[in-house]
Amino acid sequence: MNGKTPFLTCRQVHSIIDRLHARKFFARITYARRQTYCSYRMSQEQLREAVFQLKTRPYVARRARRMAGEALTRRIEAERRRLAAPVQVDVIKAAT
């Protein structure tokens, strides 16, 4: 920092953030002990739900794609089995 001492240390910044959160100036959620999300517009519950939706959305989408693919695969296999089945020819015997 150009040889200058910082205005606030990291510990001071963390302390200020903790005090503001304790005084309910904003909502804060930590996910997996590494990712912290903050919002001054949402309540604690709303932020928790938003983080839940954010973290589960890719898995839900992947599962939906996989299930759609499996349904299409089953449909294709059923059609192939139907087409591969022996053809039954109706023989009409002439009355003698």
Q: Which pLDDT belongs to residue 47?
A: 96
Q: Which pLDDT belongs to residue 1?
A: 55
Reading the chain (96 residues) residue by residue, the pLDDT tens digits are 577 777 899 999 999 999 999 999 999 999 999 999 999 999 999 999 999 999 999 999 999 999 999 999 999 999 999 888 877 776 666 665
Q: Which pLDDT belongs to residue 96?
A: 55
Q: Which pLDDT belongs to residue 27?
A: 96
Q: Would the pTM count as exceeding 0.85? A: no
DSSP states of the chain: -TTPPPSS-HHHHHHHHHHHHHTTSSEEEEETTTEEEEESSS-HHHHHHHHHHHHHHHHHHHHHHHHHHHHHHHHHHHHHHHHHSPPPPPPPPPP-
Q: Which pLDDT belongs to residue 67?
A: 92
